[in-house]
Amino acid sequence: MEEPNKIERDPPRLITITQNNDGQRIDNFLLSELKGVPKSHIYRLLRKGQFRVNKGRIKPVYRLKIGDIVRIPPMQTRQQQASAAPSESLRRLLEQRIIHEDDAMIILNKPSGIAVHAGSGVDIGVIEAMRSIRPELEDLSLVHRLDRATSGCLLLAKNRKALLSLQQQLGGEGMEKRYQTLLKGHWLNKDEWSVDEPLLRSQLQSGERMVQVSPQGKAAYSCFRIIDYLRNSVLAEVLITTGRTHQIRVHAAFIEHPVAGDEKYGCPEFNLEMRQYGLKRMFLHASSLIIKHPVTGKTLPVSADLDDDMKAVLNALGR
């Protein structure tokens, strides 16, 4: 019989650094990633070389780069009630949501409500589940991230060569990312709105991440284009050439047309109104990607349809 509250070790985790954490110090990254673990314990493990980057030891002042692979060692935590292995329903869901696969990568239409990786109270994310589903893909890694509530195109690389190629495109030219979102209100005298405002990320004492427009932030560019006028809202397509944390949500709030269902940066009254039309989550969907294939170099367009619940909201709003 198992002892109650038995202490056991979580398995090690591998986290691939994306544009969101490029330039961040490893100690600050770990403090954010391992909420609840004492700060002194994290620094002790850093000094002992327990945390590794690209299989090598690092110092606390090391600054992360796109493509770095951070190894989080087994950590002692209280035994989890839920298993870290994906449920059968999650396995089936993710397999059904694969929209492209070849020898270099997998592209998923990520469901809303599922985190891309474990951490911060999440036992299992997309990458852990996919590694369990495809155990033969030892180097399977996230190319980029989507917020937990965001659905749509999510890139996974099968090997390091593909990972570095795709992340290089992500950080510069070669990749086009478009989203669809439902925004508050109607725009006047324009069908397109470009927002070129730097974004600064901070962390509250509670550990919650917040992002705001600030001259001290990193460059960020979003272009909003109206697809359709709806009741007290617009359906918009968003082209982004940078991939900052919460970028679309913060830029939309900055121009006073926040994303429907966004509980962090949005408008509570507008969110309540949209719930009356059936919206039960944030309306933000990564609708398409255009990339250069990491092996052939050929242009590859991929798209992910809106989920049925989003389509139903648009119909209810009088699309």
Active site residues: 147
Nearest Cα residue to 179 out of 82, 81, 286: 286
User: Cα Rg for the chain, rounded, in angstroms?
Assistant: 20
Give the N- to C-terminal CA distance of the chain in Å, as an integer: 58
Angle at 115 (CA atoms; ends 292, 137), nearest 5 degrees? 55
Number of neighbours of residue 306 by Cβ within 10 angstroms: 18
Query: Contact 223/178 with Cβ under 8 angstroms?
Result: no
> In the structure encoding, which two tokens stand for residue 153, read together?
């195109």
Residue whose pair of structure tokens reads 């030892």 in the numeric block = 138
153 φ/ψ sector (left φ>0, alpha ψ -120 to 50, else beta) = beta
Q: CA–CA separation, 89 vs 95, rounded Å?
A: 10
How far CA 48 is from CA of 242, 278, 284, in Å, comes to 36, 52, 42
